[in-house]
A and B are shown apart, each in its own frame.
Chain A
Amino acid sequence: MDQHQEQHHAHHLHLPHGPSEPTHTEFHVVSPKVYLLVGTALLILTFSTAAISYVDLGVFNAVVALAIACLKMSLVVLFFMHVKYSSRLTKLTVAAGFFTFLVLITMTMTDYISRAWGRW
């Protein structure tokens, strides 16, 4: 009798639903309109970045180019890859990836940027 009750109970036991549970999210179908908008934005940004590279902004050329690339990446990640509609866990995972990449870059730079023989 106990075993039967436990089995019945197990089938009906769920993990808590809703925004409080970081690994769950309501299944959200993104509309094609959003995709079209994002795609158009990406194309506009592509032509902009190519055009801006012909304008002399000094050291800011690299900054602007990277900023536009980061913006394009954000659009792809949030909308094409659905991260905007994803669970907190997914968002945390993406953040963890970028964080580790930044650690690699910045901490390697602490060496190169402070070397005494002035290549930098």
Chain B
Amino acid sequence: MDNTLAAQTAETGHLEHDHPPFLRHHFENLTQQREAATFGMWLFLLTEIMFFGGMFCAYLIYRNWYYPAFVAGSHSLHIWAGTLNTTLLIISSFTMAMGVHAAETRQRKPLLRWMVITMILGFGFLCVKAYEWHDEWVEHHVPGLNFSPEQFITGTKAYPDDKLPLDMAEKTQVYFSLYFAMTGMHALHMIIGISLLAFLFVRARAGAYTNGHIAPIENFGLYWHFVDIVWIFLFPLLYLISRHQ
């Protein structure tokens, strides 16, 4: 045992690197490091729940105050776009989960493939969103910038009964304020996610996550699933208000 003591340096206090290189020295072992990282990511997701929560709170109040305006506003969204986007995100959650599995089973090429597919699906989501937003701009549904409630006074082809009196028609601006705030914040989180995923992809190519160091992929997966969950709620709340009318 004396030799072991001698081998310990005053600075590191342990044998030189008898552990994986990605173990940070303030942790005792890999399990502690992994569990700490996952716990940290969950705490961060809690902050995200409360961050989006404020907007959901506003939505709840105004939907009850201005229900007819919210119905009319919701009808003006493309349900095919919303459904397609939801589908894309759910599949991307599946592919991300498969990516985590590939990292856990140390398969580099499958990990890379799943990551690329996830990125493509996420990017596809953003393209559909961009199309929708462009459409809303053209129809003068962007609050503050070029909003006009005219369409909600005269009614539309798909929903000719969506004729609102002037004061309620003007309240559709509240609906669109929340629509853009919520989908905008969500899209920002998607962009950040895809960028992070691209960075992780580069590192994964070098084999950084198929040698036992799965925490970054696992925890990014948690983030990605969370962004998916936000959309899972945004879809019915924004797109599916009273479609039967």
A and B touch in the complex (CB under 8 A): yes
Residues of chain A touching chain B, judged by Cβ–Cβ distance below 8 Å, are 4, 7-8, 23-24, 29-32, 35-36, 38-39, 42-43, 46-47, 49-50, 53-56, 61-62, 65-66, 68-69, 72-73, 76-77, 79-81, 86-87, 89-90, 93-94, 96-98, 100-101, 104-105, 108-109, 112, 119-120
Contacts of B221 in A (CB 8 A): 80-81
- Which of B5, B38, B50, B232 is close to A101, meaning CB atoms less than 8 Å apart? B50
Q: CA separation between A32 and B100, bound complex, in Å? A: 10
Counting chain B CB atoms within 10 Å of each CB, the highest count among A65, A81, A90 belongs to A81
- Which of B42, B91, B98 is close to A90, meaning CB atoms less than 8 Å apart? B42
Classify chain B: how many residues form its interface, as a range: 35 or more
Contacts of A89 in B (CB 8 A): 39
Known: A23-B39, A30-B101. 6 other contacts (CB 8 A): A30-B97, A32-B98, A53-B243, A56-B245, A97-B49, A100-B50
- Which of B61, B87, B96, B101 is close to A46, meaning CB atoms less than 8 Å apart? B87
B53 closest partner in A (C-beta): A101
| 10 pairs, A vs B, C-beta closer than 8 Å | A30-B97, A38-B94, A39-B94, A43-B87, A50-B79, A56-B244, A69-B235, A87-B35, A96-B46, A97-B46
Flag if A47 contacts B243 (CB, 8 Å). no
Q: CA separation between A36 and B95, bound complex, in Å? A: 10
B83 closest partner in A (C-beta): A50
Flag if A76 contacts B233 (CB, 8 Å). no
Flag if A42 contacts B90 (CB, 8 Å). yes
Q: CA separation between A98 and B229, bound complex, in Å? A: 13
Supposing A46-B90, A73-B233, A80-B97 touch, asked if A90 and B38 sit within 8 A by C-beta, the answer is yes
Q: Which secondary structure dominates chain A's binding surface?
A: helix
Contacts of A61 in B (CB 8 A): 242, 244
Q: Mark B89-116, 1 if CB is under 8 A from A, else 0.
A: 0110110111001001100000000000
B225 close to A (CB within 8 Å): yes
Flag if B35 contacts A39 (CB, 8 Å). no
B123 close to A (CB within 8 Å): no
From 1 to 58 in chain B, residues with beta carbon under 8 angstroms from any chain A beta carbon are: 1, 5, 31, 35, 38-39, 42-43, 45-46, 49-50, 53-54, 56-57
Contacts of A29 in B (CB 8 A): 101, 104-105
Contacts of B235 in A (CB 8 A): 46, 49, 69
Q: How far is the CB of B70 from chain A (nearest CB, A)?
A: 11
The 6 residue pairs across chains A and B that have the minimum distance between CB atoms? A39-B94, A53-B240, A65-B236, A97-B46, A53-B243, A56-B244
Flag if A68 contacts B236 (CB, 8 Å). yes
Flag if B105 contacts A50 (CB, 8 Å). no
